[in-house]
Structure 1
Amino acid sequence: MKYITSVILFLVITTMYAQTITVLERDTQEPISGVLIYAAKKNKTVTSNLSGRANLEVFSASEALFFQALGYKILKLRKADITKANNLVYLQPKLEGLDQVLISASKFEQRKRDIPQTIVNINAGDIAFDNPQTSADLLESSGNVYIQKSQLGGGSPIIRGFSANRLLITVDGVRMNNAIFRGGNLQNVISVDPFTIQNTEITIGAGGVAYGSDAIGGVMSFYTKKPNFAQNDTLQFSANAVVRYATANQEKTGHLDLNFGLKKWAFLSSVSYTDFDDLRMGRHGPDDYLRPEYVVTENGEDVIVQNNEPRVQKPTGYDQINLLQKVRYQPENDLNFDLGLFYTSTSKYPRYDRLIRSRNNELLAAEWNYGPQGWFMANLQITKTNANRQFYDKVQTTVAYQNFQESRFDRDFQSAIRNSREEAVNAYSMNLDFEKQLTQQHYLFYGLEYVYNGIHSEGETENIETNVTLPAVSRYPDGSSWQSIAAYASYKFKPSENFVLQTGLRYNHILIDADFTENNLFLNLPFDKTEIDTGALTGTAGISWSPNDMLQWRLNGSTAFRAPNIDDVGKIFDSEPGSVVVPNQNLKPEYAYGGELGLRLNFNEFLRFDMATYYTYLDNALVRRDFSLNGETQIEYDAELSTVQAVQNASEAKIYGFEVGMEAHFTEDLRLTSQYNVIGGKEQDENGMEVPARHVVPYFGNVHLIWKHTDVKADAFLEFNNELSFSQLSPSETAKDYLYASNANGNPYAASWYTLNLRTQYQISNTARISATLENITDQRYQTYSSGIAAPGRNLILALLYSF
């Protein structure tokens, strides 16, 4: 009897397990939650869970089932056929993706068709296939973001002519921008580990209402992976391991992530380590980019040595480690607690563009290194849905702490004095975000934000011959603080599926407190303390109108701002040889006023065009200009007589452009995509004359031919840049002629370039996948605009992923 009971129990359990299926996206192999599964009469329905799983025991074996989800084509399958296919169901994304759910525009989920702005989404499948070395490379793969690099350990995004602290970076909804984000190029984005990113949403254009200061040109929102819960009372374990190698910089990367899931608790641990050697440039291109010589220190003496391999950029190598720990607790279906702990650290890495500078044909620097760049974040997010309260239906509370570590070490050629400056920022933030559906047609999003940044900064000089260390002027006023207090509200009116109106307002109040007492021991500033108390009101209004399935119009107008930060108010540094930037206490916010008109055309799920034209006017622009200190226009800084400069509200800029994307599906397996960006802009110089704007990049674009069949995927693609002539370069760029090729008259210009590339992926089994990419097949030698380092030459990248 016991034997019979055991057999029956075994058969029942086996039958129940056999009727549990998993719904996956066809291209990415990622699970799809919220899939509605129903029979023809719709009298029985099932929905897939967060892991894409659903139990089909309510349906008979002969029934035909329909699978329906937002953003995917409806699929019809017989239940018996699903069993034969190992209980796996694959859904195909719709071409135009208007039902795709996005977050970044309002901080809450909305369909793409409801958002009047241009938003680019890069999902986990795209990231896994692109296999980027850094998150800067990930952004570049979108085709809408331009990346500048001053060194291998870097990557400064440029969107629609805006860069650095005029763009906002968020990680899981927390702003990464801090009080020392500068107007020059930034490399903080590489702190985000691409292996941990679930999806990235890039808001093209202003995002001031939802995110406040800095979101003038766009918002780059990184959403990292969440732990997966178990579907029953037993522990669910899964893991992924990746190894990768690249030839151009001898990259060696290893990654491991582990997921432990229970019914209400889930844990995700991740570690990634990357080691880069010196980067090799291409064979065919301007000789101006070659590295014929470099400085080494032998027996305590600096000497210039000839580079036996001038295409190898010495020194550029560094290494980086990324750690992530996620904890998720779901006591109820409508209540979630998400804790994320992030830690990233690099080795010291050379700032290559400073090491190639010369005077009278002699290299200027013996050393110029960024010290280890460190970033830590602890982020707790509590989300309550289905609240049905009087003032909100959904509320999300986010509390975060971040610590940023930066340092700089430089020494002139054959000098005994090494200058070092170290900075740390402790950033605290709290956000309360609410969503309320007032009626079937009216929606309200609103919230509060508080941000506090405390800055530590110190400077010293070291005599490397005597080992004597002395205090020196720090880069920022030590102990200074920056605070932001804000409230926002956004309203959505949706009278029909075809028309949406969205509008919103945000008020930000900024407080800055900077004490220059210590730095006045070295600089005779006319003040000891700076306090800034200012506010900014921004707004947006836009419509999305889809008169039919083929056509969608988007029209959006917005204002955005950037408040002065500690970098603007209190920075002291050498901007270029012979110039020094000093503090300026008379600053106020800069404002941007912009408009965008977009058109999306969808021809019967076969061909899609996505176009937009835009214009932005930047008023009271914060720019670096010549300045006087106590009536003096020159002072001695780091033992060099230098022209005095300061950040000032001294300019205005006009940025305009046009962008178009195309996607064509020739068959279910073969598609063609392309993106092209045209950007122009002018700004005022010191004499009030219009000159080319600094961060207006060359016209750029790409073309991808993608083929996927069963377990194989291949992408043959072209990337290209137009030329920027000498007359098209901004004055600040022509002054950095060491970054550029020289034309026939000896003047700097940004040369045009293209690369041919091939990326492939093969799914060896359910648990193993291999990818191989051959970049820059024709071995072109080129630099992206304003970059101090040449891009990789021919580069073979091999990667192996194993899941268990």
Structure 2
Amino acid sequence: MRKIIVAFFLSFIANAMVAQVLTVKDAETLLPLEQVIVMSENPRKYVFTNAKGQADVSDFKGVASIEIKLLGYVTQKISFLSIEQHDFEIVLTPSDISLDQVVVAATRWRQSNSGIPYKISTIRPKEIILQNPQTAADLLGASGEVFIQKSQQGGGSPMIRGFSTNRLMYVVDGVRMNTAIFRSGNLQNVISLDPFAMENTEVLFGAGSVIYGSDAIGGVMSFHTLTPEFSLEDETLVSGKGMARYASANNEKTYHFDVNVGWDKWAVLTSISSNDFGDLKMGAHGPDDYLRSFYVIREDDEDVVVTNEDMKKQTPSGYTQINLMQKVRFKPNENWDFQYGFHYSETSDYARYDRHIRTRNGLPRSGEWSYGPQIWMMNNLSVNNRKDSGLYDDVNLRIAHQHFEESRMDRDFNDVDRSVREERVNALSFNADFIKGFTDNSKLLYGAEFVYNDVESEGRQEDISAGVSTSGPSRYPEAEWWSYGVYGVYEYEVSEVLNLHGGLRYNQYALDADFSNNLNYYPIPESNAHLNNGSLTGSLGAVYVPDKSWSFTAKLATAFRSPNVDDIGKVFDSEPGSVVVPNPDLKAEYAYTAEVGVTKIVDDKLRVDLNAYYTLLDNALVRRDYAINGQDSIMYDGEMSKVQAVQNAARADVYGFQLGVEAKLAKGLSLLSRLNVQKGEEELDSGEKSASRHAPPLFGITKLAYHVNKLNMQLYTVYNGEKSYENMPEEERGKDYLYAKDDEENPYSPAWYTLNFKATQQLTETFALTAGLENITDRRYRPYSSGLAGAGRNFIVALRASF
């Protein structure tokens, strides 16, 4: 009898435990919804649903107000008692019209954006699946709010609000990706990230230096990779995805697989992606200036110009890439959560296409110009502790090591001497982020950051005919770069309709550079350079939400970028006939930003949002003519070149607006449009002003979407305005090989648009088919400032499996 009573008691306990597992499903398909956040503010708690749509809500017992949120669905506010009455199963109704979503990028903590004075866009996994971006750069571009420049297929340099490259911040799982050699020229590092391994991607527009430190002037791109999930039942949780994709414009063949194995307290996740991209074909209808009439091959120890049989094929532009990710998670109890993540990405060599289309005296300038394998590796250990203490309610600690490798290989046409420059950066970082609530309507977010970069750079000259290699000039000095920062942000809910935010950050940065590796090659006056300076930045913002249909935001903020090794010590050819040399006498540049925003919801059927901004960049770090040891020109790679250096020599003004419209037209039918208009000016040496290089012309996207049951379709257009010769930045006018010619034979960037169609059909609970036709009208176009023309008519098909 005693055994029966014990068995009954244990069974009752087991059933009670199972009863605390909430399952969230889509109201239309009844399929489980992953990454739904279940949260409460009082007490502050949150959990996410796993691949089966399940979340353990035991900690919410007795809570009167629980929010169940997922972007694209109507938020449910419900009590724990009501969840019990619904037998721990909730369905969410799809809806794209809302003021509210949960974001991380603004403060490093998950919270509702309805009370944050920042414009933040979220790129959802469902949108990634439908759009099928080939790289993480394409993923950002698919938002319609980030402009992507490409000098080659193996690249993608985002532009946000008139800023680019090292004036934008890249963050991966809370870790700063920017290094001391992030340059002012176009950056390709974002392609190291795997779009298939993304759980969520957010773009914060405007200044973010209070939270993120140096470089966060134009915006922050925050990437959150897949998180290992635990089993909430007695059996082991095994889930994952597989995908195979083909695209016709570049003969792409991509494969991806990830698997999650979860137990009660432990979980592991493995992700692998492989990409094979062939040469990219451009469209049939557009400027003939973009056509590729020739390319160079090496034959019998000579460079030979070959006539391109298909002038739409951009040879050479193909490359391959592999991405690996391994994560382990341990959660011994509800208060502690440990995660370790290993990331690895490597490309093949890939040609810098825009250097291959340059000519000199009727012949190609380059016999070869390639980037070597781009390698990125990160080890990231994060610890989260939830504790109702006097110092904090939540703390996130992150310690990370990153290793970067990149190289450049170039050789003039029919020259046997190849210049090779290789760079390696080891980056260590530590972040501590705390949040402490004082009352129901106020909280303090504060933290500290330490970053250390060790830069190794070497060069060599290779005689490809004799097979002899000798030491040569390097791109950078041997250098170390440090950054230390502390910050605090106070949020105060004045009333139900008004929120105030204020923040400060103090940052100290230091740099030591040793130019010994280049003293034998260039007349550098000093063998060492040192920097040690500080920076104070702040922000003040307000959010006014008079009702559920209106939101008004206003923000004043400062941001900064401290000089890095690329600014102080780089030696490279910025353009034909010019060489950039070191300048150790640099200070930080500062940005001052004012921004206002308004959002209106009409009958839960229409959403219109408008954000206007103005940014002043003072003491801007720009390239200017320079003299070294009294010389205004020196020999570089065998050519007499004009000397330039990065200097605090300019002021830049950027202003513009972003307009968004979302409309529910009928059941399952919706419209979305994003428009970006920005203008930028910067001072020249003469005191005159020129258009800013990184302020692209008008651009945007408009989508007509239809979603019913398990079918999701989109017909959309991507468009880009004209950049006339008169409005072309001064430095871009000299790059006529990048642009089309106007009636007066001056370079300009024509307006263009593409018409596209994508569809996803859920075939079974396991399999889904995605297909699309991009650039239906086969337009030939080249985005502003890019060396590579966009894809012509492109058929994409992908088969996905989820388990």
TM-score (norm 1): 0.93
Report the Cα distance in structure 1 between the residues aligned to 2:147 and 2:335, rounded to whole angstroms: 40
Report the Cα distance in structure 1 between the residues aligned to 2:300 and 2:26, rounded to whole angstroms: 60
Offset of residue 75 of structure 1? 7.0
Partner residue, 1:630: 629
Q: Answer whether contact 2:337 2:384 (CA < 8 A) is retained.
A: yes
Counterparts in 2 of 1:407 and 1:670: CA distance versus 1, 3 Å: same
Residue from 1, 26, 31 that aligns with 2:34 = 31
After TM superposition, the structure 1 = structure 2 runs for residues 553-592 of structure 1, keeping only pairs within 5 Å, are 553-592=552-591
Q: Answer whether contact 1:30 1:125 (CA < 8 A) is retained.
A: no
Offset of residue 393 of structure 1? 1.0
Q: Answer whether contact 1:103 1:110 (CA < 8 A) is retained.
A: yes
Report the Cα distance in structure 2 between the residues aligned to 1:741 and 1:141, rounded to whole angstroms: 25
After TM superposition, the structure 1 = structure 2 runs for residues 537-552 of structure 1, keeping only pairs within 5 Å, are 537-552=536-551
Match of 2:519, SS state, is: helix
Single out whichever of 398-407 and 431-440 deviates more from structure 2.
Answer: 431-440
Letter matched to residue 301 of structure 2: G
After TM superposition, the structure 1 = structure 2 runs for residues 465-544 of structure 1, keeping only pairs within 5 Å, are 465-478=465-478, 480-544=479-543
Report the Cα distance in structure 1 between the residues aligned to 2:194 and 2:35, rounded to whole angstroms: 23
- The reply to whether residue 113 of structure 1 matches residue 114 of structure 2 is yes
Counterparts in 2 of 1:751 and 1:323: CA distance versus 1, 3 Å: same
Partner residue, 2:344: 343
Report the Cα distance in structure 1 between the residues aligned to 2:55 and 2:354, rounded to whole angstroms: 55
Instruction: Work out the percentage of aligned pairs sharing the same amino acid.
Output: 47
Partner residue, 2:456: 456
Partner residue, 1:331: 332
Partner residue, 1:315: 316
Offset of residue 32 of structure 1? 5.0
Report the Cα distance in structure 1 between the residues aligned to 2:559 and 2:778, rounded to whole angstroms: 42
Offset of residue 391 of structure 1? 1.5
Offset of residue 237 of structure 1? 1.0
Gaps of at least 5 residues in structure 1 are 38-45, 58-65
Partner residue, 1:137: 138
- The reply to whether residue 286 of structure 1 matches residue 319 of structure 2 is no
Offset of residue 233 of structure 1? 3.6
Match of 2:666, SS state, is: coil
Offset of residue 86 of structure 1? 14
Alpha carbon RMSD of aligned pairs, Å?
Answer: 2.7
Counterparts in 2 of 1:29 and 1:657: CA distance versus 1, 3 Å: farther
Offset of residue 34 of structure 1? 5.1
Partner residue, 1:794: 793
Report the Cα distance in structure 2 between the residues aligned to 1:18 and 1:515, rounded to whole angstroms: 64
Report the Cα distance in structure 2 between the residues aligned to 1:628 and 1:500, rounded to whole angstroms: 52
Offset of residue 470 of structure 1? 1.2
Aligned pairs, number: 778
Offset of residue 25 of structure 1? 4.7
Single out whichever of 27-36 and 501-510 deviates more from structure 2.
Answer: 27-36
Report the Cα distance in structure 2 between the residues aligned to 1:468 and 1:56, rounded to whole angstroms: 67
Report the Cα distance in structure 2 between the residues aligned to 1:277 and 1:320, rounded to whole angstroms: 12
Counterparts in 2 of 1:564 and 1:599: CA distance versus 1, 3 Å: same
Report the Cα distance in structure 1 between the residues aligned to 2:732 and 2:494, rounded to whole angstroms: 50
Q: Answer whether contact 1:775 1:794 (CA < 8 A) is retained.
A: yes
Letter matched to residue 290 of structure 1: L
After TM superposition, the structure 1 = structure 2 runs for residues 645-724 of structure 1, keeping only pairs within 5 Å, are 645-724=644-723
Q: Residue deviations 1:153-189, cap 9 Å, x none?
A: 0000000000000000000000100000000000100
Report the Cα distance in structure 2 between the residues aligned to 1:694 and 1:587, rounded to whole angstroms: 21
Match of 2:647, SS state, is: strand
Offset of residue 217 of structure 1? 0.2
Partner residue, 1:63: none
Report the Cα distance in structure 2 between the residues aligned to 1:295 and 1:788, rounded to whole angstroms: 17
Offset of residue 55 of structure 1? 9.3
Q: Residue deviations 1:69-104, cap 9 Å, x none?
A: 246436799xxxx9xx99985412554443311111
Letter matched to residue 253 of structure 1: T
Partner residue, 1:405: 405
Report the Cα distance in structure 2 between the residues aligned to 1:55 and 1:568, rounded to whole angstroms: 50
Offset of residue 225 of structure 1? 0.8
Offset of residue 703 of structure 1? 0.7
Q: Answer whether contact 1:21 1:55 (CA < 8 A) is retained.
A: yes
Letter matched to residue 430 of structure 1: F
Letter matched to residue 177 of structure 1: N
Report the Cα distance in structure 2 between the residues aligned to 1:399 and 1:732, rounded to whole angstroms: 41
- The reply to whether residue 232 of structure 1 matches residue 233 of structure 2 is yes
Q: Answer whether contact 2:133 2:195 (CA < 8 A) is retained.
A: yes
Partner residue, 1:744: 743
- The reply to whether residue 425 of structure 1 matches residue 425 of structure 2 is yes
Offset of residue 234 of structure 1? 2.7
Report the Cα distance in structure 1 between the residues aligned to 2:48 and 2:510, rounded to whole angstroms: 48
Report the Cα distance in structure 2 between the residues aligned to 1:211 and 1:18, rounded to whole angstroms: 41
Partner residue, 1:354: 355
Match of 1:521, SS state, is: coil
Report the Cα distance in structure 1 between the residues aligned to 2:354 and 2:778, rounded to whole angstroms: 22
Gaps of at least 5 residues in structure 2 are 41-45, 59-64
TM-score (norm 2): 0.93
Letter matched to residue 261 of structure 2: F
Report the Cα distance in structure 2 between the residues aligned to 1:766 and 1:19, rounded to whole angstroms: 25
- The reply to whether residue 100 of structure 1 matches residue 101 of structure 2 is yes
Offset of residue 22 of structure 1? 2.9
Report the Cα distance in structure 1 between the residues aligned to 2:16 and 2:434, rounded to whole angstroms: 44
Q: Answer whether contact 1:761 1:771 (CA < 8 A) is retained.
A: yes
Report the Cα distance in structure 1 between the residues aligned to 2:16 and 2:451, rounded to whole angstroms: 54
Report the Cα distance in structure 1 between the residues aligned to 2:216 and 2:67, rounded to whole angstroms: 36
Partner residue, 1:154: 155
- The reply to whether residue 593 of structure 1 matches residue 583 of structure 2 is no
